[in-house]
Chain A
Amino acid sequence: MDGNLGRPGAIGTATPRVDGRLKVTGEARYASDFPLADPAFAFLATSAIARGRIADIDEGEARAVPGVLDILTFRNIGDAVKRTKLFSDGGYVGSTIMPLGSDRIFHDGQIVAVVLAETFEAAREGAHRLNLSYAPEAPSAGFDSPGAETVAARDVSSTFEDPAVGDAEAALATAAVTVDERYATPTQHHNPIELFTTSCAWSDGKLTVWEPSQNVTGLKYGLAEQLGIEPDNIRVVSPYIGGAFGSRGSLTQRTVLIAVAARRLNRPVKLVAMRYQGFTIATYRAETRHHIKLGADRDGKLVALVHEGEEVTSRPDNYKVAGTDASTRLYACPNVASKVSMVHADRNTPGFMRSPPEVPYLFALESAMDELAIALNINPVELRRRNDTDKEPIKGLPYTSRSLMACFDAAAKSFGWDRRTPQPGSMRDGDWLVGWGCATTMYPTQVAPAAARVTVTPQGSVKVQTAAHDIGTGAYTVVALTAADKLGVPVDKVIVELGDSDLPPAPVAGGSNTTASICNVVAKACEQIRAKIAAAAVGADSVFKGADAATLVLADGHLQGPGGTSEPLDKAVRRVSNGAIEVYAENIPHGAPPDGIAKLYQGHPALAGGAKLKDRIQFAFGAEFVEVRVHALTREVRAPRVVGAFAAGKIVDPTTAKSQLMGGLIWGVSSALHEATEIDRRVARYVNTDLAEYLIPVNADVEVADVILVPEDDRQVNDLGIKGLGELGNVGTNAAVANAVYHATGVRIRELPVRLEKLLDAPVAL
């Protein structure tokens, strides 16, 4: 690491992650690594039916297991847990299903008991020996299941609007070329490597919770509401997180059960849920279906776009991702219609999963665009160019910046796209059919109200504190770079503290807002420190006397002014304080509500941006190119080469940004070729609930995943010009894969995942 990064320009310098060493040496403490004094261990017993009632619980055998201390069930928990609202209705929980709320079963794998014991093994055995009997009812597994209930989003949400403009059906009727197809994406689960763990300890009425979380502040307030206690009696600790991808954004119901258990036993309780339990005690990406209709003129200019999406959700909750917000605004088109519906089934409530709306909805749109390109015999890149726009078509709002075609050009060049021959099956390499495909990615640029505290000592040590989260993305590093840039101290002199609800509050690590939200508020705090130091310097008997305070900068451990004036930082700091200078700052970004900070102090992040602003629209864009190889005989599909070019405003740390985007590309390929949770529709139960059967790519599946960062300067989105990119890399990739598979084989896969059996009948010659 360049120890001299401490100057303006640190932001934008490729820097290895500052917590890397701690992580690779095992020193970084994850939630379940914190030692507890004399803990009891919890094991969850989960439901074997998806719908019905618990008829009886025979605890005899389980309680007889040596070491079993207690068993929480709906019968004995009383009203220890208060009913609260879904996060999208002003609450905090990701599911309103209260597992021990009654004898009612809402989905397979619902928590039905918490067995507490002296050891993990005894708790597990107790759970296995718990005998439950049920009064089952026939469950609805999802789409087309008897008893599943479809509702239109606009009918159940007062704030939801289906984006529309012009008369799409009329335009379709007269369009020169049309595409009218249906697409589908499967159920997928986050499966972060760190399991869903929770440890709780009470002391004098105060509760400490150790849990991997993307929203420690929300967890604190939500849990307080569930327990009916003062939020200030709760502290949530989550310094390192072993992957999250949205699964740790809203509060799951497991946390409160462990808190209640710890209070009952009057000793700390630790839960490390099993991998298979993670499929049903947290959220997931539900399956979606799409109907897309495109109409275009002979030159490929869109004249009509219709996007209807259907998403599965649980019985009680109206969770939806509603990706038409993005898909209807991607291309210039005068006539647009859209509709989002939810299908209630006997399933656990779905939730955020990396690019929740864009991954499924852009699969449909970007597949359809490829079909349109083929129908028109236009190069798919050229089709995107002809429909590029600098304002979104629904309300005519300008994009703050949009480098989509610059991304296509950079990625196409690097990929070698001009060597592509369009005919399916035409690029064979020995026994392998080669296919090349591409697609657009877009992700909303969102910024949220945030608070941070920055302290500088005369020795030039800096501490930055904020209850933000590093979910493996590099947040520690970008915050350190921001302080180094603004305060002129080297990165290794910056201590960053995150992931603790006692720190100044920060928004959920979701919607790719963290870097923009946190770096801007930290920069603001740093600027206040600089201003104090500068004001004191120009007013005192110093080399800066009489200079304009605004012209003084902190760099290389010095305060520097015009004409080469300079003074060591310690001297400049001492002029302000004999001890440290400490500044607390808050930031409310453009478009966020004026009471955004008040909301934040109740654990409600107020993300602003994307397509939700009144005066403009702000998104990051990219272009992704994929090479697939399909064996001519056995038809297994591999994606050995992926290239993505992305423009996302100011890149604070190109090193961590590239890892995010590379991981995104790999995830994107995975979302097309590998990941799918199978459901036994007879019983509405997930089938492949372990990492041997729920496939994710292994190293051998990834040969080349190249990331190109396309420069983009956008000072409108926020002062530092940062767009989020954590969720940019894995959007559209699934479509690029399916488009490449078509190119290789002539078979259009409209329903993911791509599996070899769908290609066995491909028309290409063997």
Chain B
Amino acid sequence: MRPFVYQRAASLADAVEAGSQGAGRLPPTIAAAQYLAGGTTLLDLMKLDVMRPETVVDINGVDPVRRRIERRPDGLRLGAFATMAEAADHADVKRDYPVVAQALDLAASPQLRNMATLGGNVLQRTRCPYFRDQKYSACNKRDPGSGCAALEGVNRKHAVLGVSGSCIATYPGDFAQALVALDALVEIVGPDGGRVMPFEALHREPGETPHIETNLAPGEIIVGFVLPAAAWTRRSVYLKIRDRQSYEFALASAAVALDMADDVVNAARIGLGGVATRPWRAREAEAVLSGGKIDRAVAQRAAEAAFAGARTSGDNQYKRELGKRTLVRALLQAAELSV
């Protein structure tokens, strides 16, 4: 960790101003100013000397309203400064958006969920060990242009969807898979005012520039998420497969919401975690499912479609098969069919 200036923002405008300082054209991940929410990603990486902000702008005191979870005509709005625990325990979330409650509940540990915020959560960085260890000189995400140590390294936990020759790091979060599956919106405030965009448009694939992880402009702050008001969100599940029962990132996960009438699927919405470089919407799989009945064979075809473009790198070869089975299991669970 290196010395930094700590600033406590008193208002959102304050925060945006401080956060935009000296940002220049740097993408937020390597900007000189970083927002501090729960700090469970940021401080970790600063202690490892991986993130080296010059200014840390504490946004916890900004505006209590931004913490609120409130019902609106267009859906449920989750304030970005609410903690993971607050959102997971919220009665409306649990009743109407099980996939969100489950994704949050199955993430991290109670202590972390009490600290971490929803905004920070969607922006958490990868767990790629080569990214987190300065001793590896090759990491395009940490040091653009330096190469990728994971391509031929220990990569059992790395991604198979959305990978590039520059980076195969897995997007590690769970909550974002639920958001991407539910067609959620994200509300953003920045130096040029506010904007709203589909959550799906927030993150980017690594391509040639894995250090640019989102489409946030310098200084922009996430202030909320809007979950759609619709009956189908109630038929939703988050399934997370891992080596131990709790407190671990996903090897593969699936966020599934089914809009069903009798036993026919009107529309399926699918997010995939643990297997992709960004929160992953599996539209090819959705297309297989929509308009028909669902059973084991159909679910299997959908899963095949979801992973048709998978590219493995060695240790993570199994993720193609595991990812498919995870999706099949989640679909059957959402449709209340047995394995």
Residues in chain A within 8 A of chain B (CB atoms): 48, 108, 121, 124-125, 128-129, 430-431, 631-636, 638, 673-674, 678-680, 682, 685, 687-689, 692-693, 695, 697-701, 755-757, 760, 766
Contact = CB atoms under 8 A, between A and B. Distances in A.
B246 interface: yes
B242 A636 contact: yes
Given A128-B49, A431-B338, A757 B325 contact: no
A633 B325 CA distance: 6
Contacts of B49: 128
Contacts of B251: 756
11 contacts: A128-B1, A431-B338, A634-B325, A634-B326, A674-B244, A679-B154, A680-B154, A682-B153, A756-B322, A757-B318, A760-B322
Contacts of B47: 124
User: Could you tell me the dominant secondary structure of chain A's interface residues?
Assistant: loop
Nearest to A632: B339
Contacts of A701: 244-246
Contact of A682 (B3, B152, B156, B329): B152
B243 A673 contact: yes
Contacts of A756: 241, 243, 251, 318, 322
A524 to B, nearest CB: 46
Given A124-B1, A701-B246, A633 B135 contact: no
Interface string B300-314: 000000000000000
A680 B245 contact: no
Nearest to A46: B135
Band of interface residues on B = 35 or more
A678 B325 contact: no
Interface of B: 1-3, 47, 49, 127, 129, 133-135, 149, 152-154, 156, 241-249, 251-252, 317-318, 321-322, 325-326, 328-329, 338-339
A695 B248 contact: yes
A248 B262 CA distance: 64
Contacts of B339: 431, 632-633, 766
B246 A700 contact: yes
Contacts of A700: 244-247
B245 A698 contact: yes
B153 A693 contact: no
Contacts, number: 88
Contacts of B322: 634-635, 756-757, 760
B307 to A, nearest CB: 14
Nearest to A129: B2
A674 B1 contact: no
Contacts of A755: 243
A698 B317 CA distance: 27
A344 B160 CA distance: 36
| Closest CB pairs A-B (n = 10) | A757-B318, A700-B245, A48-B135, A700-B246, A431-B339, A128-B49, A701-B245, A687-B154, A687-B129, A633-B325
A636 B318 contact: no
Contacts of B325: 633-635, 760
A125 B247 contact: no
A472 to B, nearest CB: 22
Given A688-B129, A757-B318, 16 more contacts: A121-B1, A634-B329, A635-B322, A635-B325, A674-B244, A678-B156, A680-B149, A680-B153, A693-B127, A697-B244, A698-B245, A700-B247, A701-B244, A701-B245, A756-B243, A756-B322
Contacts of A125: 1-3
A760 B244 contact: no
A698 B244 contact: yes
Contacts of A48: 135
Contacts of B243: 636, 673-674, 695, 755-756
A128 B153 CA distance: 25
Nearest to B316: A757
A634 B243 CA distance: 11
Contacts of A688: 129
A695 B244 contact: yes
Given A756-B251, A760-B318, A698 B129 contact: no
Contacts of A121: 1
Contacts of B1: 121, 124-125, 128
A467 B281 CA distance: 62
A420 to B, nearest CB: 24
